[in-house]
Structure formats: structure tokens, C-alpha cells
Chain A
Amino acid sequence: MRTGFVSSDLASGDARVPDHTGLSKEAINRDFPILSRKINGKRLVYLDSAATTQKPQCVIDRIESYYASQNANVHRGLHTLAEEATSAFEATRDKIASFIGGVRREEIIYTRNATEAINLVAQSWGRKHIRENDRIVITRMEHHANLVPWLVLAEETGAELEYIPVDSQGRLILDNISNIIDSRTKIVALTQMSNVLGTINPVDEIIEVAHRRNAMVLIDGAQSVPHLPVDVKALDVDFMAFSAHKMLGPTGIGILYGRESLLDRMEPLIYGGEMISEVRYDSADWAELPWKFEAGTPNIAGAIGFAPALDYLNSTGMDKIREHEIELTEHALDRLAGLKFIRIYGPTSSEQRGGIISFVDSEIHPHDLAQFLDASGIAVRAGHHCAQPLMGLLGVNSTARASFYIYNTKDDIDELVSALRDARRYFIND
């Protein structure tokens, strides 16, 4: 992969601090065609990667070449195309298994997205193992995707849903953790990185407490797997969910990792073709893992197109990506702190957070702010970020959110900061 890093750019004579850790400008332009687009006559500054990331050319090309020369259904044809499609489809599974720390391919289930992966656990594992008066533990910073499925399961089963609280800096409060995760607790489900606050949670600590209680742990890795080196084996986690589209891959393909011994004993959620080993008129046997959970024709192009995304991340290096995002986040926190009218949410130390910054202007509503930024070519998100209860906790209805990835630069952040100043002039003659 051609993703040369610039070691240092000090010779450029630029007064601004250069990026030491990011992709070179050439690599960004070459690999991410969309970033050359103009929005409203301005250079696109894409700061919404927490919603979905942009796709490198290699991913776009792979999807095209699959449809142009290999298109076939998987697992059911004996012809050349079907063999090629199946082998590419399954090869991605192997790449994913090694990407998250070298798990077994049987433990990687394709879903549509992280949301579906979490629902699969809540409904298949949950309905079988959760009883009245059991406890399900989540946190107060979950995305709706890791809240609503548990809310429903608790209601259906009569189990109790308990929350790990969050402090004013947006960090989990763990003082009381061994009372919250008590002996009735059957599962703990939490995000490794908050999509609103950027907080990186100490999941290893929580996993340890949960396992001492014989509770299972599901990690919502939708924000962490794309941005941090994540080793499922080292974490010793039971389930993990994430989405390809938040890590340079196509939309419509998500992953559930599950410990084989657990997946083995779980019932499928969807029945039909591809997930059976033998069907009779009066009964059927399920296929082996992982196919037991993959009924119907899957998102073949999505899975195949995910492979070059993983290659891109691997060749760049997850450590490097993390380092780059720390640098960007520090720069952003520093520059935003210079704007007295901007309030930032979440931890103040870049070690405890990823490249996601939620903020509000003291006078301009996030919606109006995002609209103004868009007119300047800057894409940010405004709203409750699928975390309505957390918004209540922060005492706001909505925030604006800037989030970074591999292709962002300090220039992007400087443009954001300058546009935030312009917005004051535009809306309140400041």
C-alpha cells in the first residue's frame, strides 16, 4: 500500500505546526478522491468520520472490480465466478479475525452493521440466558444501538437494567463498580469509545470485574476498532461489535466477534438459506459457525470491499493512526480552548480520549453552526448523536461534533477554528 508518512515537514517554512504523524498531502489526495471535492466552492474539510469515514480509492476499485469481473452468489455455485466470489468473501473474514488480535474465523459473524451485531447478542444470547431479576449493566454514555436492545430485553424478561454513571468530564465512575456489577449480573455491555465525548473507557478493568462475577461482556467497538489497536484476545472479551463503514470500508457490512463456545450454544436469529446443514420437511439442522448466523444472500460486495480497507489500516499501522489522532486532538483542544465562546465536552487529556470532540457555542445553536460551517465547506455533525439520555446528563439538547481520522490534518482543524470565529460575526455581530 502506498501510504508514505511524512516524518517531518519543518523545512516548508510554514509558521503552523506541521503534522508529524499523518498521511502526506500527496497520499491523502491520491487515496481519498472525495477530499478533492469542493463544497460550496470551498475545499471539503471532512470532520464527520465518527458518523462514517471516507473510502480510499483501493476500496472503491475493489467493489467495482468485484462487480465487473467476479460477481456471483457465494457458497452455492460450482462455477468459477462463484468460487472466486466465495473465496474473496471468506478471505475478508480471515483478515478481520487477524485484525482484532488473531481470533478464529468461526468467531467472526458478518452482519449489516454494529447495531445488528449488538441486537444479535441481545436477542439470541440474551433471551436464552437472561431471566427475571437478573441484571444487565450498561453505561450512561451508550449510543442508542447499545441501549435500546438492552432496554427491550430487560422489559421482555423482567431483568433489571443498571447503568455505570459518568462524571462531569465524561468519564465512567468506577468507584462503585463491584456493587453495580453484582452477582445477579449476566452481561455488561459498554462502548470502548464514546461517540459523543470521545472518552476511551478502561474496558479491561471492567471485563475483569465482570468475569469475576461470571458475567459476559460485550464491547461496542464501533468507535474504538477503527481508531485504536484492539486485541480481543488480550482483552479477553466475550462479544464485540463494529461496522466496516467507520473504518474506511463500505456501508452495509458489520461484524460480530463472539467467543466460539458462546456462539456454538446460541440459536440463530434469522432462518433460511445459507445457514442450514440439512433441511427435511419436518426439521432442519443448522450450519456450522460462522454461517449459522448468516442466513440469506449476504452483502458480498461489502465484505469483499472491506478487505482493502483493512489492508490500508494495517499498512498505515493502528499505532500510527492512534498517534496521529492524539496529535490532532491535542491541537484541536488547544485551539478551541482559545475560543472563549466555545465549550468542549469530554475528558481534557488526549490520552483518555479519541479524536471526537463535542462542543457548543455559547450563543449559536449547533444546528445553525453546522449549517454555517457547511457553507464554508466544513462537514461536522450537529444533534444528539444517537445518545439522547447522555445529552440530558450534559444539560444540552444537542452539540456540534467534529471527529477526525487518518486523512485529517491540522490545517483542517485551523479552518474549523477560523470558521467558528466567522460564525460569531455572521450570527451575532461578535
Chain B
Amino acid sequence: MTEQLDDMYRDIIMEHYRYPRGHKEISEPDLANQGHNPVCGDVTEIKLTLDGDRIEDISVNCVGCAISVASGSMLADMIEGKTISDVRKIAEVVRALIKGEEIDTDLDLGDLEALEGVRNFPVRIKCALLSWTTLVDAIEAREVGQTVEASTTE
């Protein structure tokens, strides 16, 4: 069990938790959304600016457990400079990784691979997905010309 615990709280995760990337303010975002996990009260706020279809700058401010903060930090790292359609693909792969589902991809997930250990702790999957769900909801709303007020993991 301690092994499983160590497998979830890998060094990379703890490093992102202590020094989260994207922890800043963006004053005039093109896209923004807040997400919360009603099970534990964790909240995340994501803002980004776009250059056409490309993500120019992103902030992720997550108040939560090590897993949700680290996942949000990795999200900020991963998607800066990517296009909206890249992000959707990445999010899908990350979701599959966290849930332990098979997915065919040649994407290099980098640090995100470390989130794999979460699959042994079903209640923590929502923690790991919080920021991703929040971002994807905002993107989906934008595609149909709407904005979202907030997202939840439920």
C-alpha cells in the first residue's frame, strides 16, 4: 500500500504541487472558467489568452490537494503554445491515462505520465481531472458560441 501511495505521490507530482506552474494572474483573458469538485471543495480557476487558435498564455490557480494542484500545473506546462484542437486531443489522452483506459496515441505526455498512479485510487480520479474538465468545458462552450459560468467534476 505504501508502494501504491508512493506511486501516486511521485516526486514529479510533489514538485509540481510545491511549485505550481501557471500560478499567476491574466487580466484580460480570451477564455476563462472556474471548476470545483463538490466532493472535497477543491477549486480551480483557468484563464487563457489566444493568438488565433493558439494558446498564448495560460494561468491555472488551483486550491486543492497535491493531485489536483499538480495536475493543473502540468496542464499549464503542457498546453501553452498549443492550438485548441491539440488541447482537446491531449485532454482526451490525459483522461484515458488517469482512468486507466487504453488509448492509441503517439503523444509525448512528459510529466503528465506521472498521473498514472492515480488510477489505483478511484476517489482521487476527480482530483486529477478537475483542471482538465474545467478547461475542456470552456473550450466546448466557446465552440458553440457560449460561455460557461462554472464547471464541476460531478
Chain A residues in the interface with B (C-beta under 8 A): 40-41, 365-368, 371-372, 375, 382-384, 388, 391, 396-398, 426-427
CB-based contact B5/A384 at 8 Å:
no
CB-based contact B40/A427 at 8 Å:
no
CB-based contact B40/A384 at 8 Å:
yes
| B39 contacts partner chain A, Cβ-Cβ < 8 Å | yes
Q: Using Cβ atoms and an 8 Å threshold, which residues of chain B touch A426?
A: 9
Query: In B36-90, which residues have CB < 8 Å from any A CB?
Result: 38-43, 63-67
Output the least CB separation between A313 and chain B (Å). Answer: 32
How many positions in chain B have a CB within 8 Å of any CB in the partner chain?
Answer: 21
A-B contacts, 14 listed (Cβ < 8 Å):
A367-B67, A367-B124, A368-B67, A371-B8, A371-B124, A375-B5, A383-B39, A384-B41, A391-B41, A397-B40, A397-B42, A397-B43, A398-B41, A398-B42
CB-based contact A367/B5 at 8 Å:
no
CB-based contact A372/B41 at 8 Å:
no
Q: Using Cβ atoms and an 8 Å threshold, which residues of chain B touch A375?
A: 1-2, 4-5
CB-based contact A41/B63 at 8 Å:
no
The answer to whether A397 and B5 touch (CB under 8 A), given A383-B40, A383-B41, is no
Q: Using Cβ atoms and an 8 Å threshold, which residues of chain B touch A383?
A: 39-41
Q: Which of A368, A384, A396 has the most CB of B within 10 A?
A: A368
Lowest 6 CB-CB distances: which A-B pairs, in order? A40-B1, A397-B41, A367-B65, A365-B65, A398-B41, A375-B5
Q: Using Cβ atoms and an 8 Å threshold, which residues of chain A touch B8?
A: 371
Chain B residues in the interface with A (C-beta under 8 A): 1-2, 4-5, 8-9, 14, 38-43, 63-67, 121, 124, 127
The CA-CA distance from A372 to B9 in the complex, in Å, is: 10
Partner of B41, one of A41, A371, A388: A388
CB-based contact A427/B14 at 8 Å:
yes
Majority-rule SS of B interface residues: mixed
CB-based contact A368/B65 at 8 Å:
yes
The answer to whether A366 and B5 touch (CB under 8 A), given A371-B121, A371-B124, A397-B63, is no
CB-based contact A382/B5 at 8 Å:
no
The answer to whether A382 and B40 touch (CB under 8 A), given A371-B121, A371-B124, is yes
CB-based contact A365/B41 at 8 Å:
no
The CA-CA distance from A290 to B124 in the complex, in Å, is: 44
The CA-CA distance from A41 to B67 in the complex, in Å, is: 24
Q: Using Cβ atoms and an 8 Å threshold, which residues of chain B touch A372?
A: 5
The CA-CA distance from A366 to B64 in the complex, in Å, is: 9
CB-based contact B41/A427 at 8 Å:
no
The CA-CA distance from A382 to B65 in the complex, in Å, is: 11
Output the least CB separation between A384 and chain B (Å). Answer: 5
Q: Which of B40, B41, B42 has the most CB of A within 10 A?
A: B41
The answer to whether A365 and B1 touch (CB under 8 A), given A371-B121, A383-B40, A397-B43, is no
Closest-by-CB residue of B relative to A367 is B65
The CA-CA distance from A384 to B38 in the complex, in Å, is: 9
Q: Using Cβ atoms and an 8 Å threshold, which residues of chain A touch B40?
A: 366-367, 382-384, 397-398
